[in-house]
Amino acid sequence: MQKAFQRIAIFGVGLIGGSFALALKKAGAVEQIVGVGRSQASLEKAQQLGIIDEIALNAEQALCNCDLVLIAAPVAQTGAILKAIYPHLQPGTIVTDAGSTKADVVAAARESLGEKIAQFVPAHPIAGRELNGPEAALVDLYVGKKAVITRLPENSDADVTRVAWAWQQCGAIIHHLEPAAHDAVFAAVSHLPHLLAYALVDDIARKPHADTLFQYAASGFRDFTRIAGSSPEMWRDISLANRAAMLQELDSYTARLSILRQHLVDADSEGIEGIYANAQRARHNWISAIEAAEKQQREGGD
């Protein structure tokens, strides 16, 4: 039986950090939450919204008597935040993060935390919205979602279990992956789709008759491009951090596009339908599997 956290410090009280705070408070899994970040306005907003109890001016103040630290800032800032944390990191404090990439975060952590690396348990909750900031935080953002822990060889089982417990208190389901495997998977199913959606909206917006085009864009376009409403800074950082895996996925995708383009040029009815039908079938199977898992979760519990 795990006991509640006494004091959690959250670096970055936006959508991800704010939703974590709200969920842990609701679960009674934390006594006090302190926020720290670049934007004083965001911190004050988070305090007004009851997301955090206190604002810390710096890492030293934030880490004082703290048993868990969550870094929920764009991934490119992880190294600098860990460097600021390092001198104030006491034994017994666990540091975790919520970054969408893991290999670069682990490398930054090794560099910044040195001999204290065992205290860093990297993680990634698979949830998001196309809105940012503390106002976007939701108490149930993580309910039924996956939280992937990419543990380090140095991590203790107890610390990994403690981080898993925190995410479970938010309603998340724990998965474990190696950092590199994590990055390869999310390059394919998350990072590349974001890049593709941004590219499409950018392409249309640059056309001289963009206004007419947007006027006739409907719900299909709206859903397809929803992720292009996400934070450009956050996704720039993810793209840079995971660019090797993203390039591989992008090249694989553009190779499929070339084949489809040739089918169009050839008016190859069977070729086009083959690709469309394979995709529709795969997506249908995927959605069915999700729905079955959700049903099992609702009925089975655990």
Q: Which residues of 83-110 are buried (b: 16+ CB within 10 A; e: fewer)?
A: ebbbebbeeebbbbbbbbbbbbbbebbe
Candidate ranges 28-36, 159-167, 218-226, 294-302; the one touching its own copies (CB under 8 A): 218-226
Answer yes or no whether residue 106 interacts with its own copies by CB under 8 A: no
Subset of residues 164 to 183 that bind its own copies, contact rule: CB under 8 A = 175
Closest CA to 43 of 69, 12, 71: 12
Angle at 161 between CA 107 and CA 296, to 5 degrees: 110
x-or-dash string of contact with its own copies, 64-103, rule CB under 8 A: ----------------------------------------
DSSP structural state of residue 102: -
Distance CA 76, CA 238 (A): 8
Q: Which is nearer to its own copies, 3 or 209 (CB)?
A: 209
Size of the site for its own copies (CB under 8 A): 85
Residues in the chain: 302
Among 136, 146, 154, 165, binds its own copies (CB under 8 A): 146
Subset of residues 260 to 289 that bind its own copies, contact rule: CB under 8 A = 260-261, 264-265, 267, 269, 272-273, 275-284, 286-287, 289
Cα separation values, 157 from 29, 54, 121, Å: 20, 30, 10
Answer yes or no whether residue 213 interacts with its own copies by CB under 8 A: yes
Among 128, 134, 171, 179, binds its own copies (CB under 8 A): 128
Answer yes or no whether residue 151 interacts with its own copies by CB under 8 A: no
